Each structure stands twice: as structure tokens, then as C-alpha cells.
A and B are shown apart, each in its own frame.
Chain A
């Protein structure tokens, strides 16, 4: 049985401005680095020696992963399958901008359907690559595993491995998004599948570390 931690990257300027990032490579801001350090202080001691850290190649995830890995004395392995969902022409936009320019597609998106916009990556494709990555890494070793990724990708991954919501047709979204630098904990065993032990655990705001 493997313990698997799903960790979302720390804050970026676009997170703070509520601009959709998707595949756009926006780095952590100073607040986000502080969040990652605070997270590492709490999470690292819970992990076993030799815990593995695997990350999306996007810099906001890679840097969050590196901060945790430094606290563990581990290295980070990059896996392109863990990157955020591509949102195509919506990348860089806010909710208000999308509601103004594509009201029908925004309505579809909120109803759990797929918006019909250029460059958008579907639920099915995202779920496939994320669950393949999770299962590959979780199956490879019984040592604790930390997977560092992104809001939409992690939500689709969790939904998929727990069998919660559909990836075809309207998606019910039973799991809500992670906060920045927050994590979930699961158990994985090839015979029993996946079990959720904790979701959206984060450090109290006041504990964010400076410096």
C-alpha cells in the first residue's frame, strides 16, 4: 500500500488576480513561496524517509515541489502528464471577462459540460493522463509519494481515481478545488484501489513563513 499526497502549487500573481493560467507558465510570487515553505514545515515531517516527489513541469509546481523536496533531502522528478489542463483562448482571462465574451460557454462550463473554445483540453483527456501518471507512480514503489500539480488537473485526477463523477457528459464535481499549497492524502493498493484519507489540508494563514 502506498500513501499518495496530491499537492497544489503555491500562489502566483495570476491566482491572486483570479486569472486562469492553464498551460501558461506563471511563477510563484513571494506569498506563494512563503506558503510552500510553511507547507513543507508541516508536511515533510509526516513523510517517510526516501519519500518521492513528482511534479508538473510548470514552474509554479516545480518550485513548490523543490521547496518540499529540499526539506526531505529528495530530488524532484518532472512528469509532463501532471501539467495543468490547457484552457486555450481562456488562458489569462478572469471570470468577468469570460462571462462577457463567451456567456454560453461559461454557462456550459459551470453546468459541468465542456466549453467549445480553441485549445481547451477535455475532461476525458485530462483524466486519462492524470490517472495514468498517478497510477504509474503509485504502483512503482510503496514509499510515500507526493504529486505536485494544479487545481483543475488534480480535481479531475481525484474524481477519476475515486470514481466520483463522470468524465463524459455533465460532471458533478463532488470534490471542490484545493487551496494554494494545500494537499490531500490517499492510500493506493493495486487490489483495493484508491481511498481518500484527507482533502484540502493546509497550514493556517498566520503560519506562513517569511524569508
Chain B
């Protein structure tokens, strides 16, 4: 059976501030590194040998590093796992966005693509993430894709063939993962959602 874990990177100082990162390459801090280590240990105990792929952004690759320290080998960088670009909103907090872009903020709250410069549309992100996930899935070994909140959400919706504006799945916690399994008929199933150290 093909198993795929979609693992959200550990928290950065921007995440703590509710500041949008998108394509900005913000590093995780000591707290994030500890979080990544704790999650990696649980993931390793639960799944054993895995193949690790990561977004090129350092908050993801540093999280991946915590896992390959335990599994051995290296994480393969896959640009398709990178975070969606938030365009001119990158670096702003949600409060600032609501104040300065009220119309586009409302669009975003409806899970639509806001009409701002540089925004990566849902369709585009979903397609590239899903393509990467389908490629890395194998019945021989569990694959772990270290990625980002939006990218993971859209990838999951694409694999489950749900509308990209669906709100049925909440955002993953930092350093937590989705466990997806592929049934014999090719359909993907959510075996676990938001699994990770917060529950232990």
C-alpha cells in the first residue's frame, strides 16, 4: 500500500506573529528546531524507514533535517513542494492586510483567490503539489513530503478530488502531518490528520 505523509514545517517567528511568509525564506528558531526534533522522533517511531522530500525553503528543509538525522540518508529537494506565493501580502500580518486590503481580505476569507499582484492561484498550487505527491508515492516505502500549510491543504484537496474552496479540513499544526494511503482502486484516503506530538 502506498503511504504518503504530508508534514508541515516547524514554526518560525513569522508564524508566531501571524505574519505571512509565502515565498519569503524565513528560518525556524530554537523553539522551531525543538518542535521539529520532537515531531521527527514520533514520526520515526511510528513509521520506521521513510524517503524524505522537502520544499526548498529553509523552514521546510530544516524540519526535514530533523528527520533524516534519525533515518539516515538525505532529503530530496522538490521545488513543487514550495509554499504558495502571497505576492504583495508577504511580510504583512493578517491585521495589516484586513486594514489595507479590505476587499481582497474578504475574498480570501471566502477561500477565493484575492486579486493582488503575485498571488499564486489555488489551481496552480494544487496541480504542482499533487503532481509531486503522485510521483513520490510508492508501495515500497512510505514517503514524507515536508511542505507548507497552504500547499499541503491544496495538495490534499486535489488528491481527494474535492473543490479547492472546500473548508472541511482545518490547517495543519506546525510540525504535524497528514497520513494519506492509496486504496487498491487508486483512490486516496485520509488515514490520519494533524498527527504529531501535541496529542501525546
Chain A contacts to B: CB under 8 angstroms: 42, 110-111, 162-164, 172-176, 184-185, 187, 192, 194-201, 203-204
CB pair A195 B194 closer than 8 Å: no
Chain B residues whose CB sits within 8 angstroms of the CB of A163 once the complex forms: 168
CB pair A195 B181 closer than 8 Å: no
CB pair B194 A197 closer than 8 Å: yes
- A-facing residues in B144-200 (Cβ within 8 Å): 160-162, 167-170, 179, 181, 183-185, 187-195, 199-200
CB pair B194 A164 closer than 8 Å: no
Separation in Å of the A159 CB from the closest CB of chain B?
10
A196 to B167 alpha-carbon distance, docked (Å): 9
Chain B residues whose CB sits within 8 angstroms of the CB of A194 once the complex forms: 168
CB pair B45 A204 closer than 8 Å: yes
A42 to B198 alpha-carbon distance, docked (Å): 10
Chain B residues whose CB sits within 8 angstroms of the CB of A195 once the complex forms: 167-170
CB pair A176 B169 closer than 8 Å: no
Chain B residues whose CB sits within 8 angstroms of the CB of A201 once the complex forms: 192, 194-195, 199
Chain B residues whose CB sits within 8 angstroms of the CB of A42 once the complex forms: 199-200
9 A-B pairs, CB-CB below 8 angstroms?
Answer: A42-B199, A162-B168, A172-B187, A173-B183, A173-B189, A174-B190, A194-B168, A197-B194, A200-B195
CB pair B181 A176 closer than 8 Å: yes
Separation in Å of the A185 CB from the closest CB of chain B?
8
* The 5 A-B residue pairs with the shortest CB-CB distance in the complex, in nearest-first order: A199-B193, A198-B194, A176-B189, A162-B168, A176-B191
A184 to B189 alpha-carbon distance, docked (Å): 15
A204 to B199 alpha-carbon distance, docked (Å): 10
Contact with A along B15-59 (1 / 0, CB 8 A): 000000000000000000000000000100110000000000000
One of B170, B190, B199 near A175 (C-beta < 8 A) = B190
Separation in Å of the B8 CB from the closest CB of chain A?
13
CB pair A175 B167 closer than 8 Å: no
Chain B residues whose CB sits within 8 angstroms of the CB of A174 once the complex forms: 160, 162, 187-190
CB pair B170 A199 closer than 8 Å: no
One of A110, A173, A196 near B170 (C-beta < 8 A) = A196
